[in-house]
Chains A and B, each alone.
Chain A
Amino acid sequence: MDLSIFGLASIYVEWLLWGFGVTLLLSAATCVAATLGGLVICAARISPLRVFSIPARIYLAIFRNTPLLVQIFFWYFAGSAIFPTPLLDWFNNPHTVTIAPAGTTWLSFKLPSFEFWAGFVSLTFYTTAFIAEEFRSGLRAVDAGQREGGLSLGLSPALVFILIIVPQATRHAFAPLLGQYMNAIKNSSLTMAIGVAELSYASRQVETETFQTFEAFGIATILYIFAVAVVEAIGELVQRRRDRKYGRGAVT
């Protein structure tokens, strides 16, 4: 298949698309893991028990106030000092996962390299901290009267939190959450520093190989804008459905 575009040979476009695939995979995995992590950290942060809230505060302060690049270097270079050797050996060797029910190979794929895992771990820890804070500000955005109303209806504080506060907070936190997903896509570019072959890395490689700077960076830029625009469009769609359901001006 001939993929050449803007005068860039087909093979290099393939490199870029492959890089884009890695970017998407890395950021999607990060978003899922960081959303779960964000829920946990947010719960710990708002907990009345100090055993939970103080470690959560420390986590948030550290991971939000240090550069992602330094965190990536830390997990990549210092990972070997922190993690046990068998685990590292496992990550450093290539693995192929084969799903073969009843003898026939159904699905077979290679597990990503150590660089990818290091990038995933650092992106997840970093994004978790930001998503946790978005959740927390979503909770704070719910009017205090809602809680009082629920309590005066005779609901227990736990039920008020689950039935009244959380559904509204989810709506408040939705747009900022998508914003963090877009940041995750953009931040995944930093993993090129440890050699993850994602889109920025690929564009740099194509540039070195062909000297077609403008084309290489141009295509990569367009792909990034495309990915971010898709997330934005999803947000817009959800927003519109919600407007139809609850009417404009309802809590969004």
Chain B
Amino acid sequence: MNFDVVWNNLPYLLWGAWPQGPLGGAALTIVLSLFSGIASAVIGLVLGVWLFMARGIVHTVLLLFLSFFRSIPVLMLIFWTYFLLPVALGFSVPELATVVCALAFIGGAYLAHGVAAGLRSVGGGQWEAGISLGLGRWRVLRLIILPQSLRRMAPSFVNQWVALIKDTSLAYVIGVPELSFVATQVNNRAMVYPAEIFLFVAAVYFVICGALDLVAGAVAGKEREHTRGDKAAKTAS
């Protein structure tokens, strides 16, 4: 094992040509993950709530829409957005935006089901109580159901974000200089020690995914303490 090739190219692997050129490498991977993570959460929440509230034909259409995104490879969707988004919008769209768009929809489609399941997991009594207080369906959802179910949805959000971080590597196919892309560049230039390069890259992804997992675990731990506190307060009163 000779990691010189990694140390010699370390700045390029970590932030690409920045600040002389565009941001790349691990930094771009993080930026891509952040944008697509936030966008997928918004899409997932909106579609999930809609899936939960919709009835009849709208529900069926929505289900079909979601299963389309869940049954095609991410790579295929990136091709679609890359080639058709500019045609559909009538102006050129930067590669970064097409990748974020594709990842956000895939992540959102998976999350929507998690959100809907989380909403269903709240007992019917909560609904009845809300309605009998004179609140409308949407207000019961917003004020009573959603706050309770968000905690239960948290694990599926974290899992989806970890999957998204890994999927940002697919931006490689349309030449976005994120971590995997710059790694293949370095590998092609050096032509030696591919094992070292890709082990290092894997380690960087591992650290990013692991960090997210740790943060999520810490937040979940706090959350549990918080609910336990609630219960303790309830029994005390």
Closest-CB distance, A190 to chain B (whole angstroms): 6
Interface residues of B in 139-177 (CB under 8 A from A): 162, 165-170, 172-173
Provide the B49-90 mask, 1 if CB < 8 A to any CB of A, else 0: 000000000000000000010011111100110011000000
Is B198 part of the contact surface with A, judged by Cβ < 8 Å? yes
Q: Does B202 contact A (CB under 8 A)?
A: yes
Q: Which of A69, A74, A214, A220 contacts B199 (CB 8 A)?
A: A74
Q: How far is the CA of A182 from the CA of B155 in the complex (A)?
A: 22
* B71, A189: Cβ atoms closer than 8 Å: no
Smallest Cβ-Cβ distance to A190: which chain B residue:
B75
Say yes or no: is B3 at the interface (Cβ < 8 Å to chain A): no
Q: Are B72 and A74 in contact (CB under 8 A)?
A: no
Q: In the complex, A82→B196 CA distance in Å?
A: 11
Known: A193-B173, A213-B84, A217-B80. A69 touches B73 (CB 8 A): no
The answer to whether the Cβ of B210 comes within 8 Å of any Cβ in the partner chain is yes
Does B84 contact A225, Cβ atoms closer than 8 Å?
Answer: no
Contact A67:B79 (CB < 8 A) given known A224-B71, A224-B73, A225-B71 = no
- Kindly state whether residue A62 has any CB partner on chain B within 8 Å: yes
Output the nearest chain A residue to B194 by Cβ-Cβ distance.
A77
The proximity string for A residues 73-112 relative to B, scoring 1 for CB distances below 8 Å and 0 otherwise, is: 1100110111000000000000000000000000000000
On chain A, which size bracket covers the interface?
A: 35 or more
Interface residues of B (CB under 8 A from A): 68, 71-76, 79-80, 83-84, 162, 165-170, 172-173, 180, 183-184, 187, 193-195, 197-199, 201-202, 205-206, 209-210, 213
Docked CA distance A188–B194 (Å): 22
Q: Decide yes or no whether A192 CB sits under 8 A from chain B.
A: yes
Determine the chain A residues whose CB is within 8 A of the CB of B213 once the complex forms: 65
Indicate which residue in A71, A78, A187 contacts B194 across the interface (CB closer than 8 Å): A78
Which B residues touch A61, using CB under 8 A? 206, 210
Residues of A with C-beta under 8 A to B183: 70, 73
In contact, B73 and A187 (Cβ under 8 angstroms): yes
Instruction: State the CA gap A68–B169 with chains docked (Å).
Output: 9
Whether A186 pairs with B72 at a CB distance below 8 angstroms is: yes
A66 at the interface (CB under 8 A from B): yes
Q: CB < 8 Å: which of A66, A67, A74, A200 contacts B76? A: A200
Contact of B75 with A200 in the complex, beta carbons under 8 Å:
yes
Q: Do most interface residues of chain B lie in helix, strand or loop, or is the interface mixed?
A: helix
Within 8 A of B (CB), among A172-219: 182, 186-187, 189-190, 192-193, 200, 203-204, 207, 213-214, 217
In the complex the two chains form, is B202's CB within 8 Å of A77's CB?
no
**Interface of A: prevailing SS:** helix
A220 to B73, alpha carbons, bound, how many Å?
A: 10
Min CB–CB distance A19 → chain B (angstroms)? 12
Contact B187 A73, beta carbon cutoff 8 Å = yes
Bound: A192/B73 CA distance, A? 12
Residue in A189, A203, A229 with the greatest tally of chain B CB atoms within 10 Å: A189
- Closest residue of chain A to B77 (Cβ to Cβ) is A221
Task: Report the bound CA distance from A177 to B11 in whole Å.
Answer: 41
Bound together, the chains give a CA A61 to CA B169 distance in angstroms of 18
Residues of the A chain whose Cβ atoms lie less than 8 Å from the Cβ of B75? 189-190, 192, 200
Closest Cβ of chain A to B164, distance in Å, is: 11
Chain B residue contacts of A224, Cβ below 8 A? 71-73, 76
- Which listed residue, A67, A187, A189, touches B180 by the CB 8 Å rule? A67
Complex contacts, B172 vs chain A, CB 8 Å: 69, 193
Given that A186-B74, A217-B76 are known contacts, is A70 also in contact with B205, CB under 8 Å in the complex?
yes
- State whether A78 touches B195 (Cβ < 8 A): yes
Once the chains are docked, how many angstroms separate the CA of A69 from the CA of B167?
9
